[in-house]
C-alpha cells in the first residue's frame, strides 16, 4: 500500500570529498527535500557533506532532524542551527533513531561511516525488519566500487538476487525522490530495540 514520504534519512560524508559534484548533490538533496516539504533526517554534523545537506535544507525553508552521538561533538561538530538535534550515547542508537524517523534512505557520497550506515540499513531490510526504499545516488560514479562489491556478493553466492535488489541505484536526487515516492510501503512499526 503506497504511503507518503514525510522524512528521508540522508547518509553522507563528514568530509567534502575531492569532486565538486559531491557538494552539489548534497545541496540538491537539501533543496529538493525542502521544496517538497519532506523532513531531512541526518547525522547532525555541520562539517562536510552532512553540513551542506543540512544548510541547503534550512536555507530552502525545510525541516531538519539531526542525530549525533555526544562523543562526536568536536569531530563532526554538532550543527547548532537545526531545530531538532538529538544527542545520543552510541552510533547504534543514532542509526536506530534515524531509521525510526525516516520513510526512505538516500546514500550520498561518503566514506566508511556512510558505508556502515548503508550496509546496516540494507541488512535490516534483508532481514525483513522494514520495506523502506534504500537508494544510492551515484553522482559522478562515486559508488561504482560499492555497487561492484554488492554485485560480487551475489555472484559469489553470498547474497541472493532478491537481497541485492533491495537497494536501488540512481543518477541524481530527482530520481531518488521519484523512486522513494513510488517504492515506499506501509510496514508494521518496529520499536528501535527490535532492530
Check residue 192 and give its pLDDT: 52
Q: At residue 178, does pLDDT exceed 50?
A: yes
Provide the grid cell at 9. 534519512
Average pLDDT over residues 144-165: 95
In CATH terms, the fold of domain 7-187 is: Rossmann fold (3.40.50)
The CA–CA distances, whole Å, from 109 to 29, 42, 157 equal 12, 14, 27
Share of the chain above pLDDT 70, in %: 90
Residue of higher predicted confidence among 80 and 92: 92
Quick count: other Cβ atoms within 10 Å of Cβ 54?
26
Reported confidence tier of residue 182, pLDDT bands at 50, 70, 90: confident
Exposed, middle or buried by CB within 10 Å (0-12, 13-18, 19+), for 101?
A: middle
Check residue 30 and give its pLDDT: 98
Domain ranges of the chain: 7-187
Q: Is 171 helix (H, G, I), strand (E, B) or coil?
A: coil
Reported confidence tier of residue 77, pLDDT bands at 50, 70, 90: confident
Reported confidence tier of residue 1, pLDDT bands at 50, 70, 90: very low
Check residue 79 and give its pLDDT: 78
The CA–CA distances, whole Å, from 85 to 13, 80, 176, 182, 189 equal 18, 8, 25, 29, 23
Interval 19-70: pLDDT, tens: 999 999 999 999 999 999 999 999 988 999 999 999 999 999 999 999 988 8
For the chain, what is the mean pLDDT? 90
Check residue 2 and give its pLDDT: 46
Quick count: other Cβ atoms within 10 Å of Cβ 148?
11
pTM of the predicted protein model: 0.91
Please write down the long-range contacts of 141-148, taking CB distance under 8 Å and 24 or more positions apart: 142/17, 142/19, 142/22, 142/109, 143/107, 143/109, 143/169, 146/115, 146/118
Amino acid at each position: 500500500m503506497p504511503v507518503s514520504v514525510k522524512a528521508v534519512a540522508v547518509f553522507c560524508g563528514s568530509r567534502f570529498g575531492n569532486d565538486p559534484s559531491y557538494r552539489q548533490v548534497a545541496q540538491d538533496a537539501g533543496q529538493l527535500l525542502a521544496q517538497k516539504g519532506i523532513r531531512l533526517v541526518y547525522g547532525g554534523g555541520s562539517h562536510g557533506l552532512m553540513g551542506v545537506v543540512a544548510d541547503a535544507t534550512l536555507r530552502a525553508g525545510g525541516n531538519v532532524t539531526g542525530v549525533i552521538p555526544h562523543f562526536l561533538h568536536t569531530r563532526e561538530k554538532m550543527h547548532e542551527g537545526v531545530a531538532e538535534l538529538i544527542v545520543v550515547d552510541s552510533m547504534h542508537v543514532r542509526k536506530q533513531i534515524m531509521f525510526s524517523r525516516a520513510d526512505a534512505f538516500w546514500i550520498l557520497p561518503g566514506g566508511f561511516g556512510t558505508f556502515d550506515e548503508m550496509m546496516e540499513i540494507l541488512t535490516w531490510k534483508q532481514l525483513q525488519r522494514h520495506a523502506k526504499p534504500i537508494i544510492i545516488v551515484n553522482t559522478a560514479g562515486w559508488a561504482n566500487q560499492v555497487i561492484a562489491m554488492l554485485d560480487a556478493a551475489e555472484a559469489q553466492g553470498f547474497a541472493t538476487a532478491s537481497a541485492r535488489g533491495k537497494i536501488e541505484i540512481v543518477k541524481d536526487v530527482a530520481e531518488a525522490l521519484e523512486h522513494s515516492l513510488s517504492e515506499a510501503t506501509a510496514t508494521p512499526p518496529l520499536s528501535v530495540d527490535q532492530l
